[in-house]
């Protein structure tokens, strides 16, 4: 049994029943990282939100999402609340909207730690500073005492990553976690994620195959709510079967780069930046 087993997941919205996700199936083992790529509107975020139990009420979800053998479709909100942050966490694209603008960063991170682990209550400040250090924040004390708007975009995303990982969740969902960042910061955050998510089950959603390749050995390609291709990412880059994947790879020129080499998109930006 895999840690996460999604079968025939279908999501419709509104009275008209507009299809956003169309009978998709995939699974993720412990310590496995799966990328989901596809263009805007293909259903990637809706898939991640369905797993996280964060879809709006007017979403109709059918099929099955089993996590550790437990069915999540139809799980009551109070049960989901216990799961979120503790067993499953999510890193969003825009850290400013995911952070509370009225609360100092250290306190927010501290609340996450305290929420699920009462035993940490006495040493929360230490835990918070520890985590800020782990995600590469150079001055943890100062950042812990700052409000989100006083941080750079990269620092905010680092703080959010710390919040997502602080309770050692078994599964981390990432939804375009670097898209809102400038290219140099994107590079740093990708390195951080590749490092921090190495041993953690991950579903990493992005429109950018080059970004997914940095973190995930396996990828599913989504088009119009369906998974059209899935497998080892290097194999798919070398020999894409679906015309959509072929187009995606041709436009990214990703097949010209050996694994581990800088990706063309990133390398080009470096050159432009001097
Ligand atoms: N809350 C909602 N209400 C109604 N329709 C929605 C809602 N959220 C998403 N959709 C629709 O579901 C479809 C899939 O959207 P989704 O956000 O999953 O795409 P995506 O692949 O993540 O794209 P992007 O990268 O732009 O976020 C789209 O047609 C979108 O309009």
Whether 13 is in the pocket of ligand 1, judged by its Cβ within 6 Å, is yes
pLDDT at 220: 97
Strands 33-37 and 171-175 turn out to be unpaired
Q: What is the pLDDT of residues 84-103, one digit of tens each?
A: 878 999 998 876 778 899 99
What does the mean pLDDT of the chain come to?
A: 88
Q: Closest ligand 1 atom, CA of 48?
A: 18
Query: Which protein residue's CA is at the shortest distance from atom 13 of ligand 1?
Result: 20
pTM above 0.90, yes or no: no
Whether 65 is in the pocket of ligand 1, judged by its Cβ within 6 Å, is no
pLDDT at 188: 87
Whether 56 is in the pocket of ligand 1, judged by its Cβ within 6 Å, is yes
Q: Closest ligand 1 atom, CA of 43?
A: 18
Nearest in space to 109 (alpha carbons), one of 158, 59, 57: 158
Q: How many CB atoms lie within 10 A of CB 259?
A: 8
Residue 40 CA to ligand 1 centre (angstroms): 8
Contact between 91 and 177 (Cβ < 8 Å): yes
pLDDT at 9: 98
Q: Which CATH superfamily is domain 1-75+206-273 in?
A: P-loop containing nucleotide triphosphate hydrolases (3.40.50.300)
Whether 36 is in the pocket of ligand 1, judged by its Cβ within 6 Å, is no
Query: Which protein residue's CA is at the shortest distance from atom 31 of ligand 1?
Result: 41
Region 260-273 average pLDDT: 45
Cα(2)–Cα(27) distance, integer angstroms: 6
pLDDT at 88: 96
ipTM for the assembly: 0.94
Whether 12 is in the pocket of ligand 1, judged by its Cβ within 6 Å, is no
Q: What is the pLDDT of residues 201-248, one digit of tens each?
A: 999 999 888 889 989 999 999 999 999 999 999 999 999 999 999 888
């Amino acid at each position: 049994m895999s840690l996460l087993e999604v079968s025939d997941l279908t999501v419709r919205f509104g009275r008209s029943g507009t299809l956003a996700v169309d009978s998709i199936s995939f699974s993720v083992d412990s310590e496995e990282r799966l990328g989901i790529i596809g263009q805007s509107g293909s259903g990637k975020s809706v898939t991640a939100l369905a797993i996280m139990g964060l879809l709006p009420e007017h979403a109709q979800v059918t099929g099955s999402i089993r996590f550790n053998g437990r069915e999540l479709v139809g799980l009551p909100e109070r049960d989901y609340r216990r799961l979120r942050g503790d067993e499953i966490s999510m890193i969003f694209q825009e850290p400013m909207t995911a952070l509370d603008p009225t609360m100092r960063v250290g306190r927010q991170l501290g609340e996450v730690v305290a929420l699920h682990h009462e035993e940490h209550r006495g040493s929360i400040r230490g835990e918070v500073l520890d985590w800020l250090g782990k995600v590469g924040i150079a001055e943890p004390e100062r950042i812990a005492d700052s409000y989100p708007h006083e941080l750079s975009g990269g620092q905010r995303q680092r703080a959010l990553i710390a919040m997502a990982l602080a309770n050692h969740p078994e599964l981390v969902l990432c939804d375009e976690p670097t898209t809102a960042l400038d290219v140099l910061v994107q590079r740093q955050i990708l390195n951080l994620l590749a490092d921090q998510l190495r041993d953690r089950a991950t579903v990493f959603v992005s429109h950018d195959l080059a970004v997914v390749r940095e973190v995930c050995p396996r990828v599913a390609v989504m088009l119009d709510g369906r998974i059209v291709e899935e497998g080892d990412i290097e194999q798919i880059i070398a020999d894409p079967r679906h015309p959509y994947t072929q187009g995606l790879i041709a436009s990214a020129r990703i097949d010209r780069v050996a694994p581990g080499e800088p990706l063309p998109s990133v390398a080009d930006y470096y050159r432009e930046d001097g």
